[in-house]
Each structure stands twice: as C-alpha cells, then as structure tokens.
Amino acid sequence: MHLSWLDLRDMRSYGALRFEPSPGVNVLVGPNGAGKTTVLEAIGYLSGLSSFRRTPDVALIRSGAEVAVLRGGFVKEAGETRIEVEIPATGRRRVLVNGKRPTRLADVAAIAPVVAFLPDDLDLVKESSGIRRRYLDDLAAQLSPGYGAVVAEYDQTLRQRNALLRRDGPATDVMSLEVWDERLVVAAVAVWRERATLVDRLGPTLDSAHSAVAGPGERLVMTLTPAFGDEGGAGGEVDPGTALRTALMRRRRRELEQRTTTVGPHRDEVTLLLGHRDVRSQASQGEQRSVAVAMRVAAYRRLRDRHGHPPVLLLDDVFSELDLVRTAAVVDMLPDGQVLVTATRDDEVPVGGRRWSVGGGRVA
C-alpha cells in the first residue's frame, strides 16, 4: 500500500497543496517551521482521524480560514481508496471514504494503516500508562476494523457515567448509576479482551524488534494489568466482568464522593520490563530510547503481517535523535514500502530516495 496523492486546503501554513509522493522513500527537507511535519500529520490524520501529535482539530485550520480540507488516495492491489476529511472551525467534521460516509468512523483506521516515528517517542516509555494505552488502542484499531468502535463505546459510556457522578455526587440515584455500571462493564470487557489479545500477540514481535535495535540481551516484555481495583481480584484467574462489577459496588461510596469512575480500562497499567527491571523507572535513557524504537518497529511489523502489505511509514525528524545502532535498525525497515522522512538537512538522512524541498507553502 502507498499514498499516491495528497491534497490540502487551509491546513496550517498551506493554503493549497498537491503532493504526489513516490511509492518508495521520500525525503522532505526544509528549515524548522517550513511545514514538513504538517504533511506527515495530514497523512496520519487521514489514516486515524486524529493528529498523531494529539493536536486539537481546530488548531489544524489555517489562520483566518473557516475549514481545513484533507484528501488523499491510498493504493492497494484492489485499487485506490480515497479518504476525505473536512474540519470546520465550528460544528462537526465531515468524513468520506470513496465519496460515502463510513458506517463507523472508528473503522477508517484499518483502511490505510500508518506508523509514525516521532521525536517525542521517548514518552512511550517515560510517561504514565495513559500513553501506552493509547499506543495499544491505536494499533489495535488498525489491526482490527471493529476495535475502534469498541473503544469509542467505552469512552462514551465512561463520559456519561462520570457526567452523572459530577452532577449529583453523593445524591446520585443508585438505580440510574447501576444502569451505567452494567453498560460500563460490558464495554470494558470488550476493551480488555482486545487489549489482552494484542499484548499476547505483540510480545514476541516486540522482543524481536528490541533485539534488532539494541542487540541480544535482556528480554523485553509488555504486561497489561486491568484496573479492577485491589478488591476486584486483579492478577488471579477471575472473570473480568465479575471483577469490575465487584469493584464498582465496593467503591461506590468513594466514587460518589470523588464524583468520578476509579476503575476500568481507562486506569489499566501497561508496564514494560527489561529483564526484571521496570523500563520507566530503572532503565537508562539509552535503554529507554531503544525500547521506544522497538515499540514502533513492532507496530510496523504487526501491521505488515496482518494486512499482507507494509503500512505507510512516517519518520518525523527522528534520525537526528538516534545513534548509529538505532538508525541502522530503522533503516533496515525502509525498503519494505512507502516511507516519508522529514529533516532540516539532507545529510541527516542516511538513505536514498526522492528528495523534496519544503518551504513557502510548497513541496517541490
């Protein structure tokens, strides 16, 4: 699969842009602020319908414009899939796939999988579990067409339950809360099932990727600890739905006072272990960077194996952050499919491919 063309209108610094990258390696070169990352961000948005930088949609719209328009064509053996997104300054965005509204927006992520290496990828390792939960959920949505809808259902249920708790606090009607409890349990079990399956299948790929990046050594393991609450029986052979129902019941008074939901997939712990060491707190920064690179490499390999073709690979100014060993590990992936690389200087990129000059609202 590859991106054959990209059209942008009123996105950030681009009033209008038509870009037709090579199906192989593309190197976008230009000074900081030239708009290189915007091109990659647009490609990532067409894949996952969100910014890989977690930028709010309204911030993507060019200053003074009312709407940003992103269009792109992704080519597979079966033909081209056209994805279009209109992001208005106010109101709801509009998404079309081959000219039609998709039945579920969450399924778009599986149509055109993309993996992005970013300068802040070290956060995957150093920050709290929330960013690793997003890593799992984003990858699962690209691997399994229905998973995005599963997460969306859980998030919506969680928001509505929390809204009830915030509004009424200790005066919350128990029968109303129990209705939301059951909906939360059903959605949570579906999320946990998918996350557990992904962690299990990702394990060997992640360890192999880490060995490729850092060389043979300690085994890298990712663990998922569902947030049942201590009283829910986490860590044992227990039905997750039963565990969550028990936790919600036992924590009811606390949640009424705190006005928020304290157990569920939004509180899961995702831990990375190098040997027996917690990578977040007990690994050196060099080891942490190797693990972060390995997580992206593992995602790339899982998507390639699942879909039968390599995903589009986006490398946003990462070679300046990597040493020779880690650079070599990333370069080893590049011949498999389409790659778009950004850099401030051409000599920072140790691979061949089509060179593009970025600046002044143009890519040429």
Q: Over the stretch 146-189, which tens digit does the pLDDT of each residue have?
A: 899 999 999 999 999 999 999 999 999 999 999 999 999 999 99
Distance CA 76, CA 96 (A): 18
Supply the pLDDT for residue 237. Answer: 62
150 and 99 assigned to the same domain: no
The domain total for the chain is 2
15 and 103 assigned to the same domain: yes
Place of tokens 């929330």: 130
92 and 184 assigned to the same domain: no
299 and 321 assigned to the same domain: no
Tens digits of residue pLDDT in 37-72: 999 999 999 999 999 988 999 999 999 999 999 999
Q: Which domain holds residue 342?
A: 1-113+311-364
Tens digits of residue pLDDT in 239-250: 899 999 999 999
Listing DSSP states for 80-122 in one string gives EEEEEEEEESSS--EEEETTB--S-GGGGGGTS-EEEE-TTTT
Question: C-alpha 171: how far from its chain's center?
Answer: 38
Q: Can you give the CATH number for the domain in which 11 is found?
A: 3.40.50.300
304 and 315 assigned to the same domain: no
Q: Could you tell me if 209 and 221 are in contact, meaning their C-beta atoms sit under 8 angstroms apart?
A: no
81 and 197 assigned to the same domain: no
153 and 244 assigned to the same domain: yes
351: pLDDT strictly greater than 90:
no
Q: Can you give the CATH number for the domain in which 143 is found?
A: 1.20.1050.90
Structure tokens at 296: 């992206």
248 and 291 assigned to the same domain: yes
Structure tokens at 321: 């952050």
97 and 201 assigned to the same domain: no
Domain C-terminal end among 260, 283, 308: 308
162 and 234 assigned to the same domain: yes
Element of type H or E holding 177: helix 174-214
358: pLDDT strictly greater than 90:
yes
Quote the pTM value: 0.91
Q: Give the torsion through C-alpha atoms of 193, 196, 199, 202, to 10 deg.
A: -50
CB-facing half-sphere around the CA of 135: CA atoms within 13 A: 33
297 and 318 assigned to the same domain: no
Biggest CA pair distance of the chain? 65
Helix (H, G, I), strand (E, B) or coil at 32: coil
Element of type H or E holding 270: strand 269-274
242 and 261 assigned to the same domain: yes
At 319, is the pLDDT very low, low, confident or very high (cuts 50, 70, 90)?
Answer: confident
Residues 264-270 have a mean pLDDT of 96
Distance CA 80, CA 265 (A): 36
Domain C-terminal end among 308, 325, 346: 308
Evaluated on CA atoms 281, 284, 289, 292, the torsion sign reads: negative
Distance CA 130, CA 347 (A): 36
Nearest one of 290, 123, 99 to 207, comparing CA atoms? 290
Helix (H, G, I), strand (E, B) or coil at 253: helix
Domain C-terminal end among 287, 308, 329: 308
Nearest one of 160, 227, 220 to 192, comparing CA atoms? 227
Q: Could you tell me if 42 and 70 are in contact, meaning their C-beta atoms sit under 8 angstroms apart?
A: yes
